[in-house]
Amino acid sequence: MRLSDVALRVAFDMRLAGYRAGGIARYATDLAAALRRQPDIDLVPLRAVRDSVADPSSARFRTPPHHRLERYAVPVELMLRRVRPDIYHAVDLIAPILPGIPAVATVYDLAFLRWPEDLAADALAYYRQLGRSARWTREWIVPSAWTAADLVERYAIDPARVTVIPLGVTMGIDDQPALPRSSRGDYVLAVGTVEPRKRYDLLLDALHLVDPTIRLVVAGHPGWRSDDTQTRLQAATASGRVEWLVGPSDADVWRLYREAIAVVLPSRVEGFGLAALEGMAVGTPVISSGGGALPEVTGAVAIEVIDGDPGEWAAAIERVAGDAELWRSLSAGGVTRAKQFDWDDAAARTVAVYQRAVGH
C-alpha cells in the first residue's frame, strides 16, 4: 500500500496554546487549522489540560510545555493516551525522544544563542537542549531563509533536512478594503511580547521626538527580563501618549492593525515577523528595523530604519504619518505582498515534510 493511500496520523504539539496566544502558539493554532483542510492527514492535537478549547479530536496532556523532563514524559503520555502517531511535530524547537516515531521540529529563530541574557534561566536551559534533540529530529521546518542559514551553521545540520516554509496570514483575509489614511487612528502599533529583543524602549525614546498628536499602542504580554521596559510603558500610559494592551482578543488586534497609522517593528531580529505580515494584509504601512528575516516578509514595501537611533525612528514615523502619497503606496503594496503568504500553501508544504520524514 502506498503512503498516499492512507491517512498520515500526526501528533501535533499544541500545548503552548493553553498558556499563551501569540508567537509560536499562534503559529501552531493557524497551521493546525490549515492542516485539517489537507487530504489524507489525521491530525491529533496534543493540548494542555488547562486549554479551554473544546476539541474532541485532541489528546489532553498533563506535561506542561518547556518542562525539564518533557522529552521523557511526552512519550509516556502518548502511550497512555493511545495516540499511536505516524509522526510527531514539535512546534517549539525541542522534539521528545520517540523510539520508532519520526519527529519534525519547527525552529522559529535562534535568538537565545545570540542573547542568552534575555531569557529566564529555565527557558534558556530548555532551548539549550536543541543540540541534543538534533540527534533524533528527522526533519526541520523554519519560517525563513535567515533562520535556515543560522540553524545549519550553528548545529551543523544537513541543509537538505531543513525546509523553509513561510507563515500564512489570517488577518485581513475577509477582503474588506483597507481604510484610507483619513479614517485611521492617531497611533502607531507594536504587536508582540514585551521583551528585550523587541526594543520597545527605542520606541519610547522616539516617541518623545515625535509630533505629540501621535501615540504608541503596544499589544503584547509582559515577557522575560523586561521589568524596566514594563515600568516605562506603565508610566507612559499614565501620560496618555502610550496604551499598553495585555492579552487583547484577536478581534481587538485586527481592529488595532486596521486603524493604525503604521505598524512598527524595531526588533533586533525576527525569525519571521508575523506582525509585519498582518499589518500589510490590512493595508497598514510597516516601519521595520530590517533585523533577521524581516526583509523576507516585507520585501520592498516597508520603511527600514537600520540604525537604532531614536531620532531616525521618530523621523520615519513622522514621514509615514505625514506623507499621504508615501502612505498610500506602502498601504497598497503591503496588501499585494501579503497575498503571497498563504496558510493552505504552508500546510501542503508541511505535509510534504511529514511524508519525507516517514519515508526515510
Q: What pLDDT score does 172 carry?
A: 65
Q: Does the pLDDT at position 360 exceed 80?
A: no
Assess if residue 173 is contained within a domain: no
Q: What single string gives the DSSP state of each residue in 169-208?
A: --TTTT-PPPPPGGG--SEEEEES-B-GGG-HHHHHHHHT
Q: Say whether both 78 and 149 belong to one domain.
A: yes
pLDDT tens string 200-244: 999 999 999 999 999 999 999 999 899 999 999 999 999 999 999
User: Which helix or strand (DSSP H or E) is residue 147 part of?
Assistant: helix 145-155
Q: Say whether both 28 and 147 belong to one domain.
A: yes
Assess if residue 130 is contained within a domain: yes
Single pTM value for the model: 0.94
Q: Say whether both 287 and 317 belong to one domain.
A: yes
Q: Say whether both 280 and 228 belong to one domain.
A: yes
Inter-axis angle of helices 274-281 and 324-338, nearest 10:
110
Q: What is the CATH number of the domain that holds 35?
A: 3.40.50.2000
Q: Say whether both 139 and 209 belong to one domain.
A: no
Q: What domain count does the chain have?
A: 2
Amino acid at 35: L
Assess if residue 129 is contained within a domain: yes
Assess if residue 103 is contained within a domain: yes
Q: Say whether both 282 and 203 belong to one domain.
A: yes
Assess if residue 174 is contained within a domain: no
Q: Say whether both 213 and 100 belong to one domain.
A: no
Q: Say whether both 201 and 101 belong to one domain.
A: no
Q: Does the pLDDT at position 147 exceed 80?
A: yes
Residue range(s) defining the domain that contains residue 246: 181-338
Assess if residue 175 is contained within a domain: no
Assess if residue 293 is contained within a domain: yes
The pLDDT of 241-263, averaged and rounded, is 96
Residue 301: closest CA among 327, 322, 324 = 327
pLDDT tens string 86-119: 999 999 999 998 989 999 999 999 999 999 999 9
Q: Say whether both 126 and 187 belong to one domain.
A: no
pLDDT tens string 281-339: 999 999 999 999 999 999 999 999 998 999 999 999 999 999 999 999 999 999 999 99
Average pLDDT, the chain: 94
The pLDDT of 178-189, averaged and rounded, is 98
pLDDT tens string 28-72: 999 999 999 999 999 999 999 888 888 888 999 999 888 888 878
Q: Say whether both 110 and 258 belong to one domain.
A: no
Assess if residue 84 is contained within a domain: yes
Q: What pLDDT score does 173 carry?
A: 64
Q: Say whether both 149 and 276 belong to one domain.
A: no
Q: Say whether both 160 and 200 belong to one domain.
A: no
Instruction: Tell me which residue has cell 551543523.
Output: 156
Displacement of CA 330 from its chain's centroid (Å): 22
Torsion of CA 222, 227, 230, 236, to 10 degrees: 180
C-alpha grid cell, residue 336 = 499585494
Stronger pLDDT, 128 or 80, i.e. the higher one: 128
